[in-house]
Amino acid sequence: MTAAGLALAAATLSGLGQAGTLERATIRIVVDEAGATVDLRYLIAQPPEVVALNAMRLPGHRLFLLDLPDEGPPARQSVSPGLVRLTFSAGRRDTLAVAIRYRVQGPTHRIPIFVPETPTNPPGEHVEILVAGVPPDRVAPNRVPRFVALADGTLRAAPDHVPGLVAVVRQDGGPSFPAVMQWGVIAIAVAGTLFWAAWARRS
Partner 1 sequence: MGATFLIVAAIYFAVILGISLWGLSKTRTEEDFIAAGRTIGPWVGGAVLTATQISAGTFVGTIGRHYLTGVSWWYIWFGVWAGWLVSAFFVAPKLRRYGALTVPDYVATRFGSTAAGALAGALIVIAYSIYLVAQYQAAGEVALTVFGMRPLTAMLILVASTAFYTLLGGVRSSSYIDFLQTLIMVSALLVAVPVLLYYTGGVSQARAFLTSLDPRLTGWYYGPKELIAFAVSFGFSIAAAPYEMTRFNSMRDEQTTRKAIYISIGFQVIIGLAALSIGMLMRVLFPALSSQDLASAVMAFEVLPPIVGALLLIAMLSAIMSTVNSVLLVVGAGVAHDLYGKLLRPAASQVHRVFVNRVAIAVLATVPIWFALQKYGDVQAIVVEQTKFIASFFFVPVVIGLNWKHGTGAGAIAAMLGGFLACLIWEFTGQRGFASHGLDAVEVGIAVSAVAFVLVSRLTRPERRP
Asked if 35 and 108 touch (Cβ cutoff 8 Å), the reply is yes
**130 near partner 1 (CB under 8 A):** no
Q: Which stretch binds partner 1 (CB under 8 A): 11-19, 27-35, 37-45, 89-97?
A: 11-19
Out of 57, 101, 103, 138, name the contact with partner 1 by CB under 8 A.
57
The residue type found at 114 is F
- Of 34-42, 63-71, 95-103, 181-189, which part binds partner 1 (CB under 8 A)? 181-189
Strand ranges of the sheet holding 155-157, from the earlier edge strand across to the other edge: 62-67, 95-105, 35-45, 21-31, 127-132, 155-157, 148-149
Which residue in 68, 131, 162, 168 binds partner 1 (CB under 8 A)? 162
**106 near partner 1, rule: CB under 8 A:** no
Q: Does 117 bind partner 1 (CB under 8 A)?
A: yes
Q: Which of 31, 167, 168, 169 binds partner 1 (CB under 8 A)?
A: 167
Q: Residues in contact with partner 1, total (CB under 8 A)? A: 59
Among 69, 89, 184, 195, binds partner 1 (CB under 8 A): 184
- Rank residues 67 and 193 by Cβ distance to partner 1 and give the closer one: 193
For residue 34, which of 79, 64, 67, 78 has the smallest C-alpha distance?
A: 64
Q: Which of 48, 106, 133, 178 binds partner 1 (CB under 8 A)?
A: 178
- Site track 23-52 with partner 1 (rule: CB under 8 A), x = hit: ------------------------------
Task: With beta carbons less than 8 A apart as the criterion, state whether 157 and 148 touch.
Answer: yes
Dmax (CA) for the chain in angstroms is: 77
According to the binding rule CB under 8 A, does residue 158 interact with partner 1?
no
Write the DSSP string, 27-54: EEEEE-SSEEEEEEEEEEES--SEEEEE
Nearer to partner 1, 80 or 94 (CB): 80
Check if the beta carbon of residue 44 is closer than 8 Å to that of residue 88: no
Shortest distance (Å) from residue 71 CB to partner 1: 25
Considering the rule CB under 8 A, would residue 56 count as an interface residue with partner 1? yes
Which residues partner with 40 through β-bridges? 27, 100
Rounded CA-CA distance 45/21 in Å is 5
